[in-house]
């Protein structure tokens, strides 16, 4: 099969603006052959997306994106969980609780800084159970405190900024292990956000590969061509699959379109075929 795919998208189950059905219809309208739904710390959007995909004849890959403990930020993507998500639900509930602890701290700090913003307003912005910083940023923007969601992160919400609070996270190795235990294939999301030199990333990939990492998101919306080239070389060196996606969030990241990102992405169906090949091999390993 041929066609263009996107292996990194978000729905209203976390901090995307489109509900799962609408996301799949949007992907279909844009002519994509397949998308993975990779919401933050939840699988709540997957069923609806799979059903809509069946209806419209576009392939939907069940996925997930977990934030793990690493400075400034590390996210691990997981693909093709077993149907029941049995082995990962407990972990996801724990991660959800850690957000629930963090959000009031962020709001409290923003209030101290003089912003009139409440947890209820932020919750109203979130359509699902995952309430995160993009929802807070959206309220700050709608109230005119900042001009964009990006500005809210840059001034207040990012790691190291005044209203940043850490949430309890899994270690990278634990995140990878939990994804594998649930039948999923783990891939390192947007390596560009790790802010590492190439040799540091090289070391890190060695460590994560030991823990079971299978892929690295070499094609990503914020990469330059050179960065993508570097990530592809490291993927080859560590025998990791080079995956890719736009990190589509709808109106929460208005300059990013599904599939093409900012016009700089083109991920071929072949990547998904290779991902399925890894899943097949993993399934065989776990049966022996």
Could you give the CA distance from residue 124 to residue 174 in angstroms, rounded to a whole number? 32
Helix (H, G, I), strand (E, B) or coil at 167: coil
Q: Tell which one of 75, 99, 102, 127 touches Fe ion (CB under 5 A).
A: 75
Between 125 and 247, name the residue whose CB sits nearer to Fe ion. Answer: 247
User: 30-53 b/e with 16+ CB inside 10 Å = b?
Assistant: eebbbbbbbbbbbbbbbebbbebb
Q: Residues 8-47: x/- map of binding to Zn ion (CB under 5 A)?
A: --x----x--------------------------------
Cβ 118 to Fe ion shortest distance, Å: 26
**Looking at beta carbons, which residue is closest to Fe ion?**
75
> Closest distance between ligand AMP and the C-beta of residue 134, in Å?
5
Q: Give me the least distance between CB of 233 and ligand AMP, in Å please.
A: 25
Q: How far apart are CA 49 and CA 257, in angstroms?
A: 18
Cα separation values, 79 from 10, 39, 278, 279, Å: 14, 11, 10, 9
Judged by CB under 6 A, does residue 261 bind ligand AMP? no
Handedness of CA 255, 61, 176, 264 (dihedral sign): negative
Nearest Cα to Cα of residue 38 among 195, 241, 187, 255 = 187
Residue 175, contacted partner among Fe ion, Zn ion, ligand AMP, none, CB below 5-8 A by kind: none
Q: Count CB-CB contacts under 10 A for residue 284.
A: 9
Of the candidate spans 20-28, 149-157, 204-212, 254-262, the one that interacts with ligand AMP by CB under 6 A turns out to be 149-157
User: CA-to-CA distance for 34 and 275, rounded, in angstroms?
Assistant: 13
- Taking the complex as a whole, how short is the minimal distance between the CB of residue 15 and Zn ion, in angstroms? 4
Query: 133 or 178: whose CB is closer to Zn ion?
Result: 133
> Considering beta carbons, is residue 107 or 149 the nearer one to Zn ion?
149
Q: What residues line the site for Zn ion (CB under 5 A)?
A: 10, 15
């Amino acid at each position: 099969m041929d066609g263009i795919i996107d292996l990194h998208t978000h729905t209203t189950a976390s901090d995307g603006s489109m509900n799962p059905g609408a996301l799949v219809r949007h992907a279909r309208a844009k002519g994509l052959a397949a998308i993975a739904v990779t919401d933050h710390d939840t699988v709540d959007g997957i069923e609806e997306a799979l059903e809509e995909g069946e209806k419209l004849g576009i392939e939907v890959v069940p996925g997930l994106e977990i934030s793990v403990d690493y400075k400034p930020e590390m996210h691990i993507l997981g693909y093709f969980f077993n149907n029941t998500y049995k082995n990962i639900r407990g972990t996801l509930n724990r991660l959800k609780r850690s957000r629930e602890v963090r959000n009031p701290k962020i709001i409290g700090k923003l209030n101290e800084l003089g912003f009139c913003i409440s947890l209820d307003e932020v919750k109203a912005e979130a359509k699902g159970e995952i309430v995160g910083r993009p929802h807070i940023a959206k309220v700050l923007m709608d109230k005119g405190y900042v001009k964009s969601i990006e500005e809210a992160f840059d001034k207040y919400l990012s790691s190291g900024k005044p209203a940043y609070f850490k949430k309890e996270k899994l270690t990278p190795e634990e995140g990878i292990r939990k994804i594998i235990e649930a039948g999923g294939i783990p891939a390192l999301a947007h390596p560009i956000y790790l802010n590492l030199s190439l040799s540091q990333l090289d070391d890190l990939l060695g460590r994560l590969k030991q823990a079971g990492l299978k892929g690295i998101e070499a094609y990503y919306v914020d990469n330059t061509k050179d960065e993508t080239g570097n990530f592809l070389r490291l993927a080859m060196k560590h025998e990791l699959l080079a995956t890719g996606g736009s990190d589509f969030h709808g109106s929460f990241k208005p300059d990013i379109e599904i599939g093409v990102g900012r016009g700089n992405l083109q991920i071929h169906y072949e990547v998904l075929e290779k991902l399925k090949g890894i899943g097949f091999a993993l399934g065989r390993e776990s049966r022996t």
